[in-house]
Amino acid sequence: MKLNKIFYVLFAIGLLTSCEKQLEVSPTDNIPGELAFTSEANISGILVGAYEEAGQAATYGGRLQLMTNMLGATNESFWLGTFIQPREAFTKRLLVDNTFIEGIWANAYETINQANLVLDNIATVTSSTEEANRIEGEAKFLRALNYFDLVRNFGAPYVAGQANTQLGVPLRLTGIVDYSVRSEIARSTVDQVYA
C-alpha cells in the first residue's frame, strides 16, 4: 500500500513539472487575412474553398435537393423518415426554426461570398489570361448557381414573358471580409437576380 502511495505522488510530481513550456504550433491550414489575397495560389485556394463550401450537406451535398423534393412532392411519394425538418417540407408546414432551411440559406451565401472574394481579387491572377479567365468563370458559375437556387426557393416565382419585379433574394456582388460591419441589404427583384 505504501509503495502505491509513493508511486502516485511521484507520478503527480512528474505531471506537474514535466512540461514547463507550452507547445506553440502555427496552423498550416489557414493564412492571416492580410495575406489571403496576395498571391495567385491563395486566390485559387479560395476558389477551391468555395467548391468545398458548395458541396457541404446543407446545399449540394444533399439537403437542398431533399427539401425541394419534399416541397414539390404530392401523392407520388411519401416521407417515413424521423427528421422533423423534411417532414415539415413534405407536409408544406415549414416553421421558422427549420434548421435545414437555415442551413441552405447560410451555406449558399457563404459560397457566394467566397466566389465574390475571388472575383474582387481576380487581378492578383497574373500568370496567364487563360488562367484568370478560368478562375473568374468558375467563380461566376458558383455564384450564379447558388443565386439561381436561392431565388427559386426563397423568392417569388419567375414568370416568362413579363417583367419580374416581384421580390427575389438579397443580391450581393462584392465579398465581405470584415463581418463586424453591418452588412444587411434589401431583397432584389427576381429579374435582378436572374440577370
Taking the C-alpha atoms of residue 4 and residue 98, their distance in angstroms, rounded to an integer, is: 56
What is the per-residue pLDDT for 127? 83
Cα–Cα distances (Å) from 99 to 48, 75, 156, 172, in that order, read 26, 25, 21, 23
What is the per-residue pLDDT for 10? 73
What is the per-residue pLDDT for 139? 96
Note the pTM of the prediction, 2 decimals.
Answer: 0.80
Contact 70, 33 (CB under 8 A): no
Taking the C-alpha atoms of residue 98 and residue 86, their distance in angstroms, rounded to an integer, is: 9
What is the per-residue pLDDT for 29? 67
Taking the C-alpha atoms of residue 175 and residue 116, their distance in angstroms, rounded to an integer, is: 5
pLDDT under 70: residue ranges of the chain = 1, 14-23, 26-29, 31-34
Contacts of 153 (CB under 8 A, 6+ apart): 64, 67, 68, 104
What is the per-residue pLDDT for 17? 67
DSSP letters spanning 88-107: HHHTT---TT-HHHHHHHHH
